[in-house]
Amino acid sequence: MSYKRARKTDIRKLWDEEIIKSHDMNIRKRAAILTAIILFGFCVIFLRLVDLMVFKHETLIQKAQQQYQKVITLMPHRGMIWDRGMRELAINIETDSLYAVPSDVNDVNTLSKELAPLIRVSASRLISKLSSERKKSFVWLARKIDEETSLKVGSLKNKLKLKEIGLLTETKRYYPKGQLASHILGYTDIDNKGLEGVELRYDKYINGEKKNILITRDARGVNLSQGSEGDIPGNNLLLTIDEGLQNIVEREIEKAMETWRASAAVAIMMNPMTGEILAMANRPTYDPNSPAEADVHERRNRAVTDFYEPGSTFKVIAAAGVMDEGLVRLDEKFDVSKGFINVGGGKPIRDVHRYGVLSFKECVQKSSNVCLVQVGMRLGEKDFYKYVKKFGFGEKTGIDLPGEVNGFLRDPKNWSGRSLASLSIGQEIGVTPLQLLRAYSSIANGGNLMRPYIISEIISPSGEIVKRFTPAIERRVISEDTARVMRDILKTVVEVGGTAEKASIKGNLVAGKTGTAQIIDTKTGRYSSNDYVSSFVGFVPADNPRIALIVVIYKPRGATYGGVVAAPVFKNIVEHTLTYLNVPMDTEENYVILVSNPR
């Protein structure tokens, strides 16, 4: 019995030991498996961290930045534009622009309907824009809005707690003098890039470096900060024009437009000795602060982009050429008593009045077509063409303004039997107002053809001269003696018996010439019986010129002669200009009181 009990005890003990042993093994197995699982998990996490932190580091940073940061490139801060007295003509002002984060917009329709009336666009347009850009984190809704609109948008944003829209400060080009010198200055687009005038011509100089704005937002879309970098302004431009003279010129041609109900008008004032443009004005005109509100023809700088048949103002080319070649004497007589001359078939070329016998000097004074045709024929096709080219016609003047044209001048091989006669009196040729003014300036300065220019200096933001422009002589056109004689002849045009008595100025001698040219009707291809270009070009004081000035009036109504329409405008501009410049009188006498036979 005792043996059996002992045996049972041993067996139970062994069984218990096996159970314990088996249990321990199970525990160890589970521990091993759990450890393996944990180690595997850590390995997976480690490998994932390696993947994220090493291999996908840059990609994730970019995604984070796209989500929480946005770099916006704003257009650069343009340099200023000054007149010759450093008075501001183009500056920059700060203004707000409205943007949205389309990816954050929950209700496109509601947001669009709230914003549309404030920024003056249709709700449908905003809905379309936000919907099409849904995946983007930034989109402009309205650029460079006015202060009132900005305040309204800001109020709406705060009222509705809108996190998906915001306002950024940008610079906007602003022209404090409005329409003044608009065709010279030009204008910029919404991104401050020059589109016309010196804004376009010198865009690379005055356009500063781009500015980057960093917008930082938290996970809830709230703006945390705005930083900037690269805000380097562009260079400044110093013009040759004078604001005071520009005002005078614009005021007077505006009056002329109203008086003569003209379709357009141009006036340019230049220093004949240097080629500096002192004023340049066009009508119609526009406000460069709102260029989109103007028509194309209002923004066109007709002074350099439009050419026309100059008529009698061109007669000085034949006169100067024949004088320079020594083919005529100043007192030589020309019989123009018939009042017409037949050349190369077609209609006779006529004078407005029958003059009888005139000296060469009187031919120019009275603007005799018959005489100047004879003078041109004496010069001959080859030499006449030579002087036309020497005076700068048929080519650009080289002025630093965009859009300049060559004008119109045919090669002599394409001339008809009548062309030389027609050219002698200013027909069959197209000139720009600036080309003609430059030609007269060469007579004023002693025979040199100057390159006209409108920028005198480019100045860095720190005040250093980046580039300076100085007078440049293109070539000698006529001798000094010929220029002196031509000045004396042109003085008689403004005296009693001349065609421009209304251009006479008390105290200072004027030298110049009138022009009255018919405009070709584009429908018939013939000269219009109603539409004319009336002009006057000259320089003052005649013996020591300070200014050269051209006035061109297109399609005046009520009168057509340059002596009636354009000469008084010239007179008014010059009188105010001489006072403004403090030019002393040569004499107290008033040279012309009564007007006779203006043309």
Helices (H), 314-368: 315-324, 360-365
* β-bridge pairing 81-82 and 236-239: parallel
Residues 267/249, Cβ–Cβ less than 8 Å: yes
Q: What separation in angstroms does the CA of 533 have from each of 123, 295, 310?
A: 50, 22, 8
What's the token pair of residue 251? 């005021």
Cα angle 143, 144, 150 (rounded to 5 degrees) comes to 100
Among residues 97, 312, 368, 442, the one annotated as catalytic is 312
Handedness of CA 291, 293, 295, 298 (dihedral sign): negative
**Three-state DSSP state, 579:** helix
Distance CA 19, CA 547 (A): 123
Residue 171 β-bridge partners: 94
**What one-character DSSP code corresponds to residue 135?**
T
Query: What is the full DSSP assignment across 377-439?
Result: HHH-HHHHHHHHHHTTTTS----SSTT----B---GGG--TTHHHHHHTT-S-BB-HHHHHHH
Residues 573/267, Cβ–Cβ less than 8 Å: yes
Is residue 312 part of the annotated active site? The answer reads yes
Of 264, 268, 368, whose CA–CA distance to 570 is shortest? 268
Distance CA 242, CA 450 (A): 19
Of 556, 553, 549, 593, whose CA–CA distance to 571 is shortest? 549
Distance CA 381, CA 402 (A): 33
Distance CA 567, CA 561 (A): 9
The single-letter code of the amino acid at 455 is: I
Residues 513/425, Cβ–Cβ less than 8 Å: no
Max intra-chain CA distance, the chain:
177
* Cis peptide preceding 545, ω within 30 of 0: no
Distance CA 318, CA 383 (A): 10
Q: How far is CA 246 from the centre of its chain?
A: 16
Residue 168 β-bridge partners: 97
Location of structure tokens 């980046």: 466
Distance CA 356, CA 393 (A): 33
Residues with a known catalytic role: 312
